[in-house]
Structure 1
Amino acid sequence: MMVMANANAQAAKVRRMCNLYHVSSKQEIERHFRLIVAAGAALPEGTGVAVGPFGQGVMIRANAAGERQAVAGQWGMIAPHALQPRPASRAILTNNARIESVAERPTYRDAWALGRRCLIPAQSYQEPNWETGRNIWWQLRRADGAPWALAGIWSEWVNPNTGELLPNYSMLTMNCDGHPLLSRLHKPDPQLPADAQDKRSAIPIAAEHWDAWLRAPLTEAQALLRRPPADLFDPAVTQVTDELLARLRRDPGPTQGSLI
């Protein structure tokens, strides 16, 4: 039983997705996404502000008039009947939601069923690469320099003690096993075959589909959830890893520990 528990814990670590991204500035969000900013929304004025789980970030959703609107909120969904904005256990993260189970998980299912979909503007998002035997963080950016519009879902939670309304959101993820770039990310589980690792990927939405993602019926919106093509990513993201791998192939001796 203990062996099985350890294996499950390891698999959970492998499947854990993006836990840090850099939000675009207010000026970039307004210019690139052609939207309005919600009244009182404290969007970041600076460039590349880092957002971690349960930190303050930005989401773009459709307002009552169907317009794109930028709203500040917590990156990490809050369960509908929660008594506090984040789980008591640090091990529980709700900033990522798997598309395979988003319709069933209690934290996410209401938002999904109600069509509360959003775009998450990001200059880059961070993922680990373990191909050298040590972690190298990859900062995933677009090749064209534009901000990402990552697929997400959103909700609003009312603090039962203060009555404060807190918008919150999660980033959707999908399987990317076999993808020429994204399958290189995350620490592989040695107990699983190479074609069953369940590597995860954030899901960018193309500009021509932004409004459909925000407002279209569920079946139409689901069809927009696709693995991004490799050439969408800045090729420089692999440079450090590839250089180290080349050095290791030339000299696979005990110097590996000093490379990073």
Structure 2
Amino acid sequence: MCNLYHVSPKQEIERHFRLIVEPKLAWPEGPVGPFGQGLLIRTNAQGERQAVAGQWGMIAPHALQARPSSRGVLTNNARIESVAERPTYRAAWSAGRRCLIPAQSYQEPNWETGRNIWWQLRRADGAPWALAGIWSEWVNPLSGELVANYSMLTMNCDGHPLLSRLHKPDPRLPADAQDKRSAIQINAADWDCWLQGRRDEAMQLLRVAPAEMFDPSPAQQTDELLARLRGRDGPEQGLLI
């Protein structure tokens, strides 16, 4: 899963996604966290790509407020395996309200040293990520304000040579059954199909990005730290620092 990401600069999004960002659009400042103000790309009534500001965290139908009252309830990530059944997401998924989430980078935790090291995941080619999402619109019952909102789709990445290294492992589960989660990159050739295609066509596009698409710097830095720890403590001492 992902709980923090950075939106790419406006001009980069316009160039990469081939769209015009409206001048009045409120641009996200700094990193985007759960229920923060982010950016999504969807198609308008004319079938053109459109950048829209919205809340990163889906608002449940008939909700009385934009975010759940419990701090433990997060809706910024939606599992692709259950998106069609979960009450918060199923209407958007059924209606084909799919979007792209443009991200300069997104953050995930690595626990291989025994403590968390945040990896900033960027593309090796420097281009923005186009992450798969779903979107909806919610009307505030008190003010009448229309609030765009969206969730990032995730899928299992157990066995991935890079992404399986992320997130704290559950010691009760075997390595191949951790159900670690990954955001889903949509390739440029598939954007229109993802945004406007049939649901079965869109499902065929959902796959974990290959390891070579990622900037290797975070993994290399962690590998160097692990090598130093092994050299200092020896394998019998463990890697806790």
- Is this a same-fold pair by TM over 0.5? yes
Cα distance change, pair 224–256 in 1 and its aligned pair in 2 (3 A)? closer
TM-superposed deviation, 1:256: 5.7
Moved over 3 A (4+): 253-258
Residue matched to 1:216: 197
Counterparts of residues 33-182 of structure 1 (less than 5 Å)? 33-37=17-21, 40-44=24-28, 49-182=30-163
> For the Cα contact (< 8 Å) 1:25–1:43, is it kept in 2?
no
Structure 1 position 227 matched with structure 2 position 208: yes
8 Å CA contact 2:230–2:239 kept in 1: the answer is no
User: How far apart, in 2, do the equivalents of 1:257 and 1:133 lie?
Assistant: 5
| Deviation digits for residues 10-65 of structure 1 (CA, Å, limit 9, x no counterpart) | xxxxxxx1100001121211111111335742124x7xx30000000000001000
Tell me the amino acid that sits aligned with residue 52 of structure 2: V
CA distance in 1, matches of 2:40, 2:31: 14
Instruction: Give 1:28's aligned residue.
Output: 12
Amino acid at match of 2:198: P
C-alpha distance in structure 2 between counterparts of 1:41 and 1:65, whole Å:
19
User: CA contact under 8 A between 1:29 and 1:121: conserved in structure 2?
Assistant: yes
Which stretch shows the higher mean deviation, 33-42 or 229-238?
Answer: 33-42
Identity over aligned pairs, percent: 78
TM (norm. structure 2) is 0.95
**Counterpart residue number, 1:18:** 2
Q: Which amino acid aligns with 2:209?
A: P
Displacement after TM superposition at 1:83 (Å): 0.3
Letter of the 1:61 counterpart:
R
TM-score (norm 1): 0.89
Q: Following the alignment from structure 2 to structure 1, what is the Cα–Cα distance between the partners of residues 20 and 42?
A: 10
SS of 1:168 mapped into structure 2: strand
Q: For the Cα contact (< 8 Å) 1:59–1:169, is it kept in 2?
A: yes
**Contact 2:4–2:107 (Cα < 8 Å) also in 1:** yes
Structure 1's unaligned 5+ residue stretches are: 1-16
Partner Cα separation in structure 1 for residue 103 and residue 84 of structure 2? 25
More helix by share: 1
Counterpart CA distance in 1 for 2:147 and 2:75 is 15
> Following TM superposition, by how much is the alpha carbon of 1:241 offset from its aligned partner in structure 2, in angstroms?
1.0
**Which structure 2 segments of 5+ residues have no match?**
none
Aligned-pair CA distance for 1:249 = 1.8
